[in-house]
Amino acid sequence: MSNQDNQDIDFSEKFSELEEITKYFKEDEYDIETGIEKFEQGLEIASKLKEKLNQAENRVEKIKEDFEEEN
């Protein structure tokens, strides 16, 4: 499996984890301590996802620049 495949899987897994956390907060009742833990986890995951999206955006911009230079 290539590094890109690992990154894609990691992104998908992290996004799924974040979705599960948001589902928890849509319940009518939940434990405050568990809620705080899940909120912290969600922020960590969201930060990692944002970083990965920024990296992807930078790669796309670099590819576009390289393409424009060639043409």
Report domain extents, the chain.
Answer: 3-70
* Structure tokens, 37: 């833990």
Q: Are 48 and 14 in contact (CB under 8 A)?
A: yes
CATH numeric code, 3-70: 1.10.287
Selection from 13, 21, 68, 70 nearest residue 42 by Cα: 21
Helices (DSSP H) in the chain: which residue ranges?
A: 3-25, 32-70
Selection from 4, 2, 1 nearest residue 59 by Cα: 4
pLDDT value at residue 2: 59
First to last CA, the chain: 33
Q: What's the pLDDT band for 26 if we cut at 50, 70, 90?
A: very high
Please write the tens of the pLDDT for every residue from 29-55: 889 999 999 999 999 999 999 999 999
